[in-house]
Structure 1
Amino acid sequence: MLVQRILTALILAPLFVWAVFALPADYFAYLLLLFVAVGGWEFARLIKINQPLYRALVAGGIVGCALVAARHTQNLQTVLIASVIWWGFNLVWVISYPAKVQSWYGSGIVRVMSGVMLLAPMWVALINLHQGYGSEYFLLLIFLIWGADSGAYFIGKALGKHKLAPRVSPGKSIEGAIGGVIFSVIVMLIFLQYQQASVDSYAGYLLLAVVVSGVSILGDLFESLFKRVSNIKDSGNILPGHGGVLDRIDSLTAAAPFFLLGLNLL
């Protein structure tokens, strides 16, 4: 499994970085939309929709909502703020689990709308980030999330004693979460040094790194809620050693809207 994970990462990571810098903006947006479509297909399984036709309809509906939201660029801030508010509710569901499950899983319509709110704002945020701020800021977001994941893993393994959300994801620890935040802050510091940013701007950007790393963990935990209710280990198996696409972008679903909104406010 470890060898598969490493080989998959070694193949896909350089290709993705190339796509970020080399592909025209429109083509890159469609590439990201492909991830949304696959993520929607996988999410349908997490909400216990197993018939291929209905799963395709869910995925297509999510893609359609993302396209509609992207066409109304004048309402970008509204989309981002709506996503931030929605993630606030998700935090409540994570903290309260297993209570209040019916609030976010009892209705089929609510479950499908969760897929829309999970993936559509992420795509809108990512394409606007790529087109509005450039490839470097897009990769900054990716590295912030990777930093949070790596810090949480290594610090959690070494020092983790206090469970972060034991009923949702027993492997995560408070120490690991703090380590993830620290790693993300270090990534942001390196970026600010590279950009030769003014010292006056450091506080805002470092606060943004803290927020993004924190909500990236929330994104992971929120997917874990659906996995637990559906009794599914991975969202899919399309990526050898890594599970499904949704397993790889769960942190990004939460982090992307927060990151772009934060940049717009700085």
Structure 2
Amino acid sequence: MLLSRILTALILAPLFIWAIFSMPTDYFSYLLLSFVALGAWEFTRLIKIDQPFYRTLVVSGIIGCAFIASAHAENLQTVLIVSVVWWGLNLYWVISYPKNIDSWYGSGIIRVMGGVMLLAPMWVALSSLHANYGNVYFLLLMLLIWGADTGAYFVGRAFGKRKLAPKISPGKSIEGVIGGTIFAVIIMLAFLQNQNIALQSYAGYLILAVIISSVSVLGDLYESLFKRTSGIKDSGNILPGHGGILDRIDSLTAAAPFFLLGLGLL
């Protein structure tokens, strides 16, 4: 399992980095939209929509909402703030699980709206990040998430004793989260040195790294809520060793809006 996970990452990560630096923003946004579409298709399975027609309808609705949000660039900050507030609410669902399940997994409309809020703001944030801040900052976000995930995995396996959310994701530990945060801070420090950013700006960037590391865990746990409730281990099996697309972008769904909003405040 670990070997296939590593091999998949070694193949896909360089290709994605190439896309970040080589593709114009418009084309790159459509590449990201393909990931959104695949993630939305997998999400319909997590919310127990089985018929292909209705699954396609939900996917089309999520993509449509993403386009509508993206078309109003002047409201970008509003989209980001709404997303951040929504993730704050998700934190409550994660902490209170398994109570209040009906609040976020009740009617079909609520479940579908969960998919819209999960994926549409992420796509808008990522497209805007690539367009307005460039490929270097886009890569920084990816490295922060990958570093936090890698650090949490290995530190958690080596030292993890205290469970973070045993009712949702028994494999995650508090020690792992701390390890992931340390990895993210180290990556941010390397970025700051490489970009020759003024020393007085370091504090803001390092706080941003801690926030991104933390909310990436929240994104993972939020997806796990649906997997746990629907009785599904992985969102899909398209990526050997990693599961589905949604399993790979769950951290990004939360981190992208926070990162773009944070950059605007620095």
Q: TM-score band, normalised by the shorter chain?
A: over 0.9
What is the aligned length? 266
1:187 alignment partner, SS class = helix
1:215 is matched with 215
Structure 1 outlier segments of 4+, above 6 Å? none
Write the distance in 2 (CA, Å) between the matches of 1:2 and 1:169: 18
2:137 is matched with 137
For structure 1, which runs of at least 5 residues remain unmatched after alignment?
Answer: none
Write the distance in 2 (CA, Å) between the matches of 1:110 and 1:60: 17
1:126 is matched with 126
How far apart are 1:4 and its partner, in Å?
Answer: 2.3
Letter paired with 1:134: G
Letter paired with 1:26: D
1:102-251 alignment, distance < 5 Å: 102-251=102-251
2:10 is matched with 10
2:265 is matched with 265
The sequence identity of aligned pairs, in percent, is 74
1:43 alignment partner, SS class = helix
Letter paired with 2:150: S
2:35 alignment partner, SS class = helix
Deviations 1:118-170 (A, max 9, x none): 00000000000001000000000000001111111111111111111110101
Deviations 1:104-129 (A, max 9, x none): 00111010000000000000000000
For structure 2, which runs of at least 5 residues remain unmatched after alignment?
Answer: none
Write the distance in 1 (CA, Å) between the matches of 2:28 and 2:188: 24
Letter paired with 1:146: W
1:56-95 alignment, distance < 5 Å: 56-95=56-95
Deviations 1:180-215 (A, max 9, x none): 111100000000000011000000000000000000
Letter paired with 1:147: G
Write the distance in 1 (CA, Å) between the matches of 2:67 and 2:130: 16
| Larger mean Cα displacement after TM superposition, 73-82 or 236-245 | 236-245
| Larger mean Cα displacement after TM superposition, 194-203 or 9-18 | 9-18
1:19 is matched with 19
Please report the RMSD computed on the Cα atoms of aligned residues, expressed in angstroms. Answer: 0.7
Q: TM-score, normalised by structure 2?
A: 0.99
How far apart are 1:78 and its partner, in Å?
Answer: 0.2
1:26-65 alignment, distance < 5 Å: 26-65=26-65
How far apart are 1:71 and its partner, in Å?
Answer: 0.4
